[in-house]
A and B are shown apart, each in its own frame.
Chain A
Amino acid sequence: MSHHIVEVRDLFFAYPDGTEALKGISFRIEHGVAVALVGANGAGKSTLLLHLNGYLPTTRGEVRIGDSALTRETAPMVRRAVGMVFQDPDDQLFMPTVAEDVAFGPLNAGLPADQVEDRVAMALERVGMTHVRERPPYRLSAGEKRAVAIATVLAMTPDILVMDEPSSNLDPRNRRRLIELLRSFAHTRIIATHDLELVVEVCSHVIVMDGGAIVAQGPTRAILDDEELMLAHGLERPHSLRHHHPHPPSA
């Protein structure tokens, strides 16, 4: 089960133009935990995410997924373990039909046709999108696209789910559905988002980034309730933590 552990040690990264995007990132995420990655625009969240499946090469420091360090050799294996849902579903859905899009990952993994079919059915069922399986992805609504994008990743049966801004562009009902879906997963989850209310409901731990470094990490409530810390890094103390609602979103 150690596959589900994500560990980053002293990770540095600079873009070719010299911009230092990551300056010594270290954290460890245990099996099955949902962790939020928060921080202002340009804090380095997306750059960090791109390191987690080896899309950006590790030049200094180390990324460990499960037992193995991420290198050029282990990247294909790591990409099967780490499912990544990107911010714009239009970038992720490029096949002619939803079913073919969901089958893209399993087919690349070399699975036989009948198993691919099972995976497609399972993944679409899981996100409640079975009814759109023969539709072209670009004809779907934003909420449906997001759900299908998640299904394309679930079909690869990853141990770890990495998501960039999963609730962006969603209406309240679709956002609610997404939150329930994210809460129902047993995977290790890493969610980069500005939606701090989603963090309160879904994630047990938070990592706060600013200027390419981690400025705080710990249990969600302890971190997000720290108004001074939040304001200092371009964030805000979530409304739900300021007031005691008669119907708390989650314990």
Chain B
Amino acid sequence: MKLVDWIEIGRMDELGRMDTPVHRLDARAKIVVTVAFIVLVMSFSRYALSALTPFLLYPVALIAMGHIPARHILTKILVAAPFALVIGIFNPFMDRHPVAIMGPFVVTGGWLSFASIMLRFVLTVGAALALVACTGMYRLGAGLEQLGVPRMFVTQLLFLYRYLFVVANEGLTMLRGVELRSNGIRSLRFRVYGSLIGHLLLRSMDRSERVYRAMVARGFDGEIHVLRRASFCWSDWAFVCGCLAFFVAARTWNLAHGLGLLLTGSVR
């Protein structure tokens, strides 16, 4: 199970099963707050930087209170970083009008918006990862369902999570098979890849048939029943109201203005 170890998917599950005040919060509360967080972070103007910094508090607090190792979350953010880089990397070249002078350097609007994109990326992906690490995929699914997300989507999500690695491992095994018979020729012909992917699809379909068969054999009727239904209590309400109040305040006023001046120098 090499791939599993690499992605450390089991680790995320272990983290999700820990027992801390943030883990005990209802999944729905954390989902609502995280969605609000992401929407508000994305709603800032393209050059916002210092005003965004107070939002770092939320994922950092979640990670700290949930006793989640920060390194674990940071490596996951790095894995996804190339996507954000590709989105933002052209800004410095397209948008060259100067907005600030930092000592000998002239900061252009492009660099500022690039920094803003990267900060938003770290904030949103960090918050989403913290949510999964503090909740666990399964309770997250149950929470989504209780919030009214159609059951079919939730079931799909959970099965994707469960079988992603089984299918990926099948793909790796096939690749190894190809490698062993390709006489050291490293570049595969396009046709071979096409056939490999086709086979992987067929195998996945066969597996889904077998999984469904096993589910039907145990009385599956289209609904996945959950052992424990979570209930919303006062601490969940306090968490939701407290976080939303903070987010709204941080969105309305630049809370970091004083601190921001200190951190970003003369930017703005």
Q: Using a CB–CB distance below 8 Å, which chain A residues touch chain B?
A: 50, 53, 55, 76, 79-80, 83-84, 86, 88, 90-92, 94-97, 99-100, 103-105, 107-109, 113, 116-117, 134, 136, 138-139, 152-153, 156
Contact = CB atoms under 8 A, between A and B. Distances in A.
B13 interface: yes
A91 B13 contact: no
A136 B13 contact: yes
Contact of B10 (A95, A107, A139): A139
B220 A136 contact: no
B207 interface: yes
A92 B166 contact: no
B72 interface: no
Given A91-B210, A104-B215, 12 more contacts: A80-B219, A83-B217, A100-B138, A105-B218, A105-B219, A107-B227, A108-B220, A108-B221, A109-B219, A117-B227, A136-B13, A138-B1
Contacts of B220: 104, 108
B227 A138 contact: no
Interface in B106-150: 136-138
B218 A96 contact: no
A84 B162 contact: no
A103 to B, nearest CB: 5
Contact of B227 (A80, A113, A136, A156): A113
Interface residues of B, number: 31
A113 B219 contact: no
B165 interface: yes
B218 A156 contact: yes
A39 B158 CA distance: 38
Contact of A138 (B165, B224, B226): B165
A45 to B, nearest CB: 15
B211 A91 contact: yes
Nearest to A92: B214
A95 B13 CA distance: 12
Contacts of A156: 218-219
Contacts of A97: 138
Contacts of B1: 138-139
B159 A104 contact: no
The 10 A-B residue pairs with the shortest CB-CB distance, nearest first, are A108-B219, A107-B225, A105-B218, A96-B138, A91-B210, A92-B214, A84-B217, A91-B211, A91-B214, A139-B10
A79 B17 contact: no
A147 B219 CA distance: 20
A90 B166 contact: yes
B210 A86 contact: yes
21 contacts: A53-B217, A55-B213, A55-B216, A79-B216, A86-B213, A91-B207, A91-B213, A91-B214, A94-B162, A94-B215, A95-B162, A104-B224, A104-B225, A107-B225, A107-B227, A108-B218, A138-B1, A138-B10, A138-B166, A152-B218, A156-B219
B218 A153 contact: yes
Contacts of A92: 211, 214
Contact of A86 (B136, B214, B227): B214
Contact of A136 (B10, B225, B228): B10
Contacts of B166: 90, 138
A120 to B, nearest CB: 9
Contacts of B136: 96
Q: Which of B4, B210, B228 has the most C-beta atoms of chain A within 10 angstroms of its own C-beta?
A: B210
Which of A76, A94, A139 has the largest number of chain B CB atoms within 10 A? A94
Contacts of B221: 108
A107 B223 CA distance: 10
Contacts of B217: 53, 55, 79, 83-84, 86
A24 B13 CA distance: 49
Contacts of A90: 166
Nearest to A136: B13
Nearest to A88: B210
